[in-house]
Amino acid sequence: MNFQIEKKLKNGLGRAGVLQTSHGEIHTPAFVPVGTKATVKSLAPEQVRELGAEVILANTYHLYLQPGDELVRDAGGLHKFMHWDGPIVTDSGGFQVFSLGAAYGKELSKVTKITDPSLMIPERFDDSDAPRLAKIGQDGVSFKSHLDGSVHYITPEKSIEIQHNLGADIIFAFDECTSPAEDMKYQKEALARTHAWAKRSLNMHKKLAEEYPLRFPRPPQRGGLRDAACALSLRENRARSGRITRSENILQPASVPALFGIVQGGRDEGLRKESARFIGSLDFDGFGIGGSFAKIDMSSAVKWVNEILPEEKPRHLLGIGEPEDLLMGIENGVDLFDCVAPTRNARNGTLYTKYGKVNITNAKYKENFGPAEEGCGCYTCRNYSAAYLCHLFRGKEMLAATLATIHNLFFITSLVKEARQALMDGRFPEFKDGFLKSWRK
């Protein structure tokens, strides 16, 4: 992996660059659609590529449980298994420590509504009896599978091993995502754990990197006409769309992934900076910025961290992706974002437009024969009306999810691309202001 910064924001942390992976380039800042279980829900990989995404993210925990990381390895790795020939990122499962642990069954999420810190009731009371599917142990986390109730113990080493089996291009250290509602004592404990886990992740990664070629031997020659035809059609496809960006084809094994360390520290400036210094000092290829945030805390946390992290390495703001947050992150030196919001919102009928989000299932769209978003260039808006989308949702048709997801991902990836171009052209502040003015109505 190689990262080159092409342009920096004047008077700010923002930058535009290119991240080179063995499965192609990522022009940063970039949005990474989430495909947790090795699929961007409701889309075929060609559709994901077509709408402008360069890279996707899959999840270690989910794929470990189903179908199993060894099966994915035996299938030739994620790229081949899911037929995505671009770069892939895998999350370490650290977020599930939070979402299936402290946040389980509670009104806690990646971004909390609570903006007044005084209203944040400490969550870390003795609630060991509270139902949760993840419990933090001595040197790892035990998960109770939401699929069959079986118990699995995930350590940093295990997470890295799973991720090597999956064969992504960028992988993450195992971490603990904490709620901003945790008290200082707990934040310190959790941070110490995340830091220890970071070192262990790194060590395991180095060890496994040596045996990586063994992990993905040349695929056996199945010798079928089918494989040949498949390879041929892939090549044709790429030739037709003018996207022959690399010489390898999708059937070749992946190369050793890049490992990103994750900065935590909750909402405390001291802890955040301490974490950035510590994680930044380790031999990672890039960094993730993690945590659950109150909305107002997000920008300062990102700023604190990015002022400290080594400038020449890429930074990924984990799980963030509403438009205003993306622009904030870009302004403050974030290179990569992933988020389920555009895909999940799409499946639930919420579409992004330059004038804010709309619920396409609302009665007012029943007879709106124009596109969901006037002037949008996505496949959905070019070919279907708001009324049709409204009908598909009301009729509970599967195509509703597909068309809505195409629109939302196109909207978000385009937004980030336009922000990148604005940054390259030296007009990012104007672009941001212009977008937000319309977005907030």
3-state per-residue secondary structure call for 49-109: HHCCCCCEEEEHHHHHHCCCHHHHHHCCCHHHHHCCCCCEEEECCHHHHHHHHHCCCCCCC
Residues whose CB is less than 8 angstroms from the CB of residue 191 and which lie 6 or more positions away in sequence, other chains included: 264, 265, 266, 271, 274, 275
- CA dist 207 and 130 (Å) reads 38
Does residue 168 interact with RNA by CB under 7 A?
no
Number of H helices, E strands in the chain: 17, 18
In the bound state with RNA, the residue whose beta carbon lies nearer, of 216 and 415, is: 415
- Token digits of residue 244: 């022959």
Q: Which of 198, 401, 403, 422 binds RNA (CB under 7 A)?
A: 401
Residues 251-270 binding RNA (CB under 7 A) are 262, 264
Does residue 92 interact with RNA by CB under 7 A?
yes
CA 222 to chain CA mean position, Å? 34
The number of C-alpha atoms within 13 Å of 243 and in the hemisphere containing its C-beta is: 16
Number of other CB atoms surrounding residue 162 within 10 Å: 24
Element (H, E) at 21: strand 15-21
Contacting range for RNA; rule: CB under 7 A; set: 11-19, 179-187, 347-355, 413-421 = 347-355
- CA dist 330 and 103 (Å) reads 28
Contacting range for RNA; rule: CB under 7 A; set: 45-53, 217-225, 241-249, 345-353 = 345-353
Q: Which of 165, 275, 345, 353 binds RNA (CB under 7 A)?
A: 345
Q: Which of 71, 115, 146, 312 binds RNA (CB under 7 A)?
A: 146
In the bound state with RNA, the residue whose beta carbon lies nearer, of 16 and 262, is: 262
* Catalytic annotation, residues: 91, 338
Residues 349-388 binding RNA (CB under 7 A) are 349-350, 357, 359, 361-364, 366
Total of residues contacting RNA (CB under 7 A) = 62
Instruction: In angstroms, give the least distance from the CB of 249 to RNA.
Output: 28
- CA dist 425 and 403 (Å) reads 32
In the bound state with RNA, the residue whose beta carbon lies nearer, of 216 and 271, is: 271
Chain residues binding RNA by CB under 7 A are 34, 36, 40-41, 57, 59, 62, 91-92, 94-96, 98-100, 104-105, 109-111, 113, 131, 133, 146, 172, 175, 177, 262, 264, 288, 290-292, 295, 318-322, 325, 338-341, 343-345, 347-350, 357, 359, 361-364, 366, 394, 396, 398, 401
